[in-house]
Structure 1
Amino acid sequence: MLDVRRLRLLRDLANLGTIAAVAEAHTYTASAVSQQLAALQRQTGVALLEHTGRRVTLTPAGRELVAHTETVLAALEAAAAAVAAARAGLSGTIRLGAFPSAVRTMLPAALVALGRDNPGLDLMVTEIDPVAVPEALRTRRLDVALWHDYDVVPAPPDPALESVPLLDEAVYLAAPAALDAADADPVAAARHCDWILGTPGTLCHTVAVRVCEARGFAPRARHHVDDFDAALTLVAAGQGVTLVPLLGAGQPPPRVRLLPLATHRRTRIGYRRGAGDHPAVAACVDALRSIVESLESATPTVLA
C-alpha cells in the first residue's frame, strides 16, 4: 500500500518545483523530504524522479502517479466530510484565508455569523494574496479561502481544488480630479501618468500591467503599495493613478475620481477537492454568500 503522506509530497513537488519549496511548505527539512520521496520510489519499484542539472523533475511515471494522487486525496477529503457530517454539531479548527479588501468588508460579519451559529468552531483567519491561495489549500495551511482572479488574468484550473462563485466586481481607475479623462478609455488617458502598482509578483501588479499593455504601453511605476486605502491616499496627494476594485474603493478621499473600466474582479470560495460537503466548509460558504447578498442589497453596483 502506498503511503498517502509520501504521495502528497510527490504531488507538492510537481506543483512547487523544488524539494526546498516542498520542505518549507510542510515545515520539514529538505533531507527529510528527499528521504520520503526515495522511500516512495522503492515502494513503487519505478523511477519517479530524475535529475536535470541541479533540479529534480518528475518522470512520466511520476506525473502519472501524481494524477492518481489527486483522485486519492479528493476521495479522502470526501470521506472526512462524510464522517464529519455524521457527528452532532460542528467543532474543530477552520483556517480561512482572504485577500485584504475581503478581510475588511466581507469577512468580519461572516465570522460573527459563523461563531454565533457554530460556537464549537475555532475560526482562524490569514490574510493572503490570491497567487498564494492554491499552495496554501493544497498543503493544508488553509481549509477555505476567498480566492479571486480578473477577467484579464484568469486563474488556471487546479485539479486539487474546487470553488464556487461568490462575487463579481467592477474595477475602476482611481485618478486625481485634474486628470483629463475626455478619452473614452480612462486607462489610455492615463498613459503618461505615474502609476501606483502592487508589489511585483502580486496579482494586483500583474493585472495593472496587463491592462496597460492591452492599450499599448507599460505603466510607469512610481510607488508600489498593496493596500488600496493607502494607494487611494497617494492618488489624492497627486502621486499617480491606480486600479481599484469596488470593494477596495470604500469611501475614496476628496479629489479622487473613480472611472469605471470594462475589467472585472471575480471572487470565488475555494477549498480542497472533495471537501465541499464537509459541514464546516458548507457553513463557511453559506455565511459568506449571505453576507455578499446583504452587501449587494445595500450596494447594487457591486454586480456590474
Structure 2
Amino acid sequence: MALPRTTLEQWVVLQTVIEQGSYAQAAQVLNRSQSSVSYALSGLQERLGLSLLEIHGRKAVLTEQGRALLVQASPLITAFLQLEHRAAGLKGGVRTELSLVVDSVFPKNRLFRALKVFQQLFPDTRVHLTEILRGESIEQLNERSADLYITTLAPENAIHGRFLLDVDFVPVAKSDHALLQLPVPLTAQDLARFPLISVADRPMPRTDNHASGTIANWTFTTVGAAMEAIAVGVGYGWLPLESVQSALDSGQLSRLALSARTVRQTALYMMLDNESERFDQTVSALAKSIVAECGLLP
C-alpha cells in the first residue's frame, strides 16, 4: 500500500482557511504564522497538481475542484479527531463500551435522561442496553456479563444491590371496557370473567384440559405489547403506573377500582461490583447518573 501524498494537517489548514475566510484568520485560530499556513497550502496544491483556492478581494474561496475534494476530506478530518479523542480517553482509563442490563419495568423516561447525562460526560463510550423481564436469578444475571444491572432481587439477595425505587403497578383497562360498567369495587369474581393481560418471559405451561367456560389469560413479552393489547380491549392488566400515565391522562385507559389493594409495588435494585464502582470511572459515572434520576443521593 502506497503512503498518502498529502497529510491530514494540510487538509485541516485548508478547511480552517475556508471557515475563517483568510490566511491571517486561519493562522490565528491554528496558532501558527501566516507564512506556515501559506506553505502548507502551497504544498498541498503542488502534491495534488490542482488549484484548490482562489483569492477574491481579501477572502479565500474554494475552486470547483477544491470544493469537491474538501467535501470528501471533511469527514476524514472529523473521524481522525474523534480517534485522537478516544485515544486520550483510553489513556485516562475511559471505557469505549459499556453493557447495561435493565428490567423492562424501569421507567424509560428516567433511564434515557440518565443515559443522556452520561453521554454528555463520555461521548465516545458506546452503551449496549439489554432489557430483561423480572425473575432472573443472580446466577442468570452474572451469565450476561454486564457492567451494570437494574433488576428485581429476591429478599435474601437484596443485600447484593442498591435500592433505586419502587415501581407502582396499577390495574387498568380500556376506558369503554365492560369491567368499567360493573358496580364498584370490583371483586375477584368480576375480574375472573375477563382475560388478564400479563408480561412474562415465557409462555404459561400448556394444558390440554382447559376447563370449559373459563377465560384464557394472555401473556406478552414486553410491557409495550401488553399495554397495546389492553388499549384495544383484549383484557385488563396490572401495568407500571409511569408507563400508562399518559394513556390514563388522555382517557384511553382507566384505572379499575378493586375491593382489594389497587397498587402493587416491585422494588428495583442496581447491581455492580465494588471494583467497578471504585476504580472504573466510566461505570461509576453511569451508576451516579441513574441514582440521581431515581432521586437518591450518590
What is the TM-score when the length of structure 1 is the normalising length? 0.51
For the pair 1:258 / 2:255, whether they are aligned, the reply is: yes
Offset of residue 237 of structure 1:
2.5
Equivalents in 2 of 1:147, 1:266: separation in Å? 8
1:174 alignment counterpart: 172
| Preserved contact between residue 162 and residue 273 of structure 1 (Cα < 8 Å) | no
102, 111, 117: which one aligns with 2:115? 111
Equivalents in 2 of 1:140, 1:175: separation in Å? 35
| Preserved contact between residue 89 and residue 120 of structure 1 (Cα < 8 Å) | no
Equivalents in 2 of 1:191, 1:290: separation in Å? 41
| Preserved contact between residue 137 and residue 144 of structure 1 (Cα < 8 Å) | no
What is the letter of the counterpart of residue 224 of structure 1?
T
213, 217, 224: which one aligns with 2:219? 224
What is the letter of the counterpart of residue 123 of structure 2?
P
Instruction: Give structure 2 stretches of 5+ with no counterpart.
Output: 1-90, 205-213
2:62 alignment counterpart: none
> For 1:258-290, what per-residue CA distance to the aligned partner results, in whole angstroms no more than 9, with x for missing partners?
237241021111123654424333222210122
| Preserved contact between residue 199 and residue 221 of structure 2 (Cα < 8 Å) | yes
Equivalents in 2 of 1:92, 1:248: separation in Å? 31
State, as a whole percentage, how many aligned pairs show the same letter: 17
> For 1:73-132, what per-residue CA distance to the aligned partner results, in whole angstroms no more than 9, with x for missing partners?
xxxxxxxxxxxxxx8453242210113343733322222211211235332211222334
Equivalents in 1 of 2:163, 2:242: separation in Å? 16
Offset of residue 238 of structure 1:
2.3
**1:237-276 correspondence runs (5 A):** 237-252=232-247, 254-259=251-256, 261-272=262-273, 275-276=276-277
| Preserved contact between residue 166 and residue 269 of structure 1 (Cα < 8 Å) | yes
Equivalents in 1 of 2:283, 2:187: separation in Å? 40
1:35 alignment counterpart: none
1:287 alignment counterpart: 289
For the aligned residue pairs, the C-alpha RMSD in angstroms reads 3.5
For the pair 1:126 / 2:121, whether they are aligned, the reply is: no
Q: Point out the structure with max Rg over C-alpha.
A: 2
Greater fraction strand: 1
> For 1:124-176, what per-residue CA distance to the aligned partner results, in whole angstroms no more than 9, with x for missing partners?
21122233463454235211011136xxxx45418xx8311111122111124
1:93 alignment counterpart: 97
Equivalents in 1 of 2:164, 2:233: separation in Å? 34
Aligned length: 188
